[in-house]
Structure formats: C-alpha cells, structure tokens
Amino acid sequence: MDIENQQPKVSIVSVNYNQPEVTCEMLESLRKVTYPNFETLVVDNGSPTNSPLIIKEKYPEAHLIISEKNLGFAGGNNLALKQAKGDYVLLLNNDTEVEPDFLDSLVELMESDNKIGIVSSKILFFYEDNLIQYAGSSPLNPITSRNITYGNKEKDSGQFNKPKETSYPHGACMMIRRSVLEELGLLYENYFLYYEELDFAERVKRAGYKIYFQPKSSILHKESISTGKNSPLKTYYLNRNRVLFLRRNSKGITLVLAMIYFFGVSLPKSTIKYLFKKEHLSALYRGVIWNISNFKIKENQKLYSA
C-alpha cells in the first residue's frame, strides 16, 4: 500500500461499443500491469446488441459506466474523464493489449517535466509480426492537412527507441496530464469520430505544453492494416472532420489556402475516386454540407461544470 501511495494515480479510460469480448481481452492484459496505482473505467457507448454486463462480471475491478446512447469517441471518453480520479488519465482503445510494464515509463516521462501535456506509447499491429503502427508523428501540413506517422508498417528493429517530442499523439493510447484537462477542457465532442486527438493536441501545444512519444512503453493494436475496412461512415467523418478541424485550428490566409486546396483539389479528387461508389460519394458531400449547416463552432466543454 505504501508503494501505491507513493506513485501518481493513473486513470485508464476505455470505450466499448458492441465488443465486450474484445474489451475483456484488453482488461485481461491490464491485470498483468506492474504499475501499482491505477484505476480502470470502461464506458459502454450505447451498445445496441451485445450486452456489456459480461465486462463487469468478469472484471469487477473495472468501473463500468453505461451510456444510453452512442456519444462517439470523444463523448464516451469524456463521460469517464469526469469521474476519473487520477493525476494522469490514459485513453486506451478497447481493441488493444498492453505490455505489463507499459505504464511505468509513461508516468516516468510525465514526472520528468511538468510541461509535457501528452505522452503516447509505441504502437504495434497485433496481427502482424513486430510491425509498427505508430512511433511519433510529423506536423500536419497547414494547407494540405497531411502528415506522416513515423514507423508505420516498418519492422521494429529499435530504430525508434529514443523518447522524443512529437507533433501528435495516437488516440489508441495517450496519457494526458490531469491539470491540462482542468485547464483546457475535455475532448471536443462535435467530431464524434476521428480527429479528436489531433484537435486536442493543437489546444495542448497552443497552451505551451509538449507532446512526447515514449518507445519504452508499447502496446498491441488489433486494427487491421488492410484498406478493406473503409466504409461510407468513415468517408463521411474523415471529410466532415477535416474541414471542421481546419475551421477550429487555422486562421487568416492559412485557412483560406487550406479551404482552396480542399475544395479545389481534394474534393474533386475524392469525387472522381467515388464516382461509381454512390454510398461513399453521398457520404463525402454530406460531410461537406454538414460544415455549411453547422457554421457556428461550439465551445470546448470544461472538465468541471460551472
């Protein structure tokens, strides 16, 4: 107990949507974690068919929060963030499995510099042999909104084994300093799906905090690396939120040029790509129209209600 009290408390937050078995596999890996002071909060995001109660039955140590409706990635996480008690909060995808010591080095890095606002682990593909998904990220090009995820689909041979400052975390595993959440507010819920961590990272950097990649911490992510997982829903939110992200994080001539690029280059290119895929084409333009219909941008939600 003394060792536990001497270590900062970490709140691990994960969102389940209709995947209780997958979430249970993540929780099983958390049972092997060596860090002595953490709590686990799982939000069921309005699962329509598969009951989340098996999570509570098998893993009573996890605090299960049930939402009546699907609040999206940001909304689901925010529900738990309001109840989390940790000095640090770790957002962890439910389709991940962790190494037993993955928390120790994340906390160690956070404790070394109070200007570090976010730290992400090295992420490897679960179903591939030692293949990297994330080892840090380059800045987004302010006009094209494109960037590079370092190490993506490279064999891990130690080439990214030094902790370093990076431009963006990975939403599958990102530790946030609680005081930063208290200062800046919660994840922006209007995205619903995709771009939430990029938007939060921009707010963190504007406030003068740093973002780090910690390769001493590693997790496995069950996301497929195939391109066959594309869906009209993904097309809709990626394009809708790309424009929303620009509107929230760009100004002046940069915003004008970025919009010219999107409407003059990206949108025509995507239109041709989806010309014979009507569902994707419809999703693409619905995403654009959403931004016109929702011209006013909502404020960031605070951690504590006034």
pLDDT digits (tens, 9 = 90+) for 267-299: 999 999 999 999 999 999 999 999 999 988 888
* 277 in the same domain as 186: no
Question: What CATH number is given to the structural domain containing 43?
Answer: 3.90.550.10
Q: Specify the DSSP element, H or E, that contains 123.
A: strand 116-125
Domain endpoint, select from 197, 221, 245: 221
Q: What's the confidence (pLDDT) of residue 6?
A: 84
Burial of 108 (0-12, 13-18, 19+ CB in 10 A): middle
Domain count, the chain: 2
* 235 in the same domain as 214: no
| CA pair distance 33, 235, nearest whole angstrom | 37
Domain endpoint, select from 172, 199, 221: 221
Domain endpoint, select from 221, 255, 275: 221
Q: What's the confidence (pLDDT) of residue 227?
A: 34
Read off the amino acid at residue 22: V
Bridge partners of residue 155, in order along the sequence: 131
Which residue numbers in the chain have pLDDT < 50?
1, 225-228
Is there a contact between 242 and 145 (Cβ–Cβ < 8 Å)? yes
| CA pair distance 251, 89, nearest whole angstrom | 31
Q: What's the confidence (pLDDT) of residue 228?
A: 43
| CA pair distance 86, 66, nearest whole angstrom | 20
| CA pair distance 17, 72, nearest whole angstrom | 9
Is there a contact between 104 and 62 (Cβ–Cβ < 8 Å)? no
Is there a contact between 287 and 271 (Cβ–Cβ < 8 Å)? no
- Of the candidates 160, 88, 164, 86, the one whose C-alpha atom is nearest the C-alpha of residue 123 is 160
304 in a domain, yes or no? no
Six-digit token pair at 244? 């929303």
- Residue 4 φ/ψ region, left for φ over 0, alpha for ψ in the -120 to 50 degree band, beta for the rest: alpha
Which pTM does this prediction carry?
0.93
Q: What's the confidence (pLDDT) of residue 4?
A: 59
User: What range does the domain containing 286 cover?
Assistant: 230-293
Number of H helices, E strands in the chain: 11, 10
* 279 in the same domain as 209: no
* 99 in the same domain as 160: yes
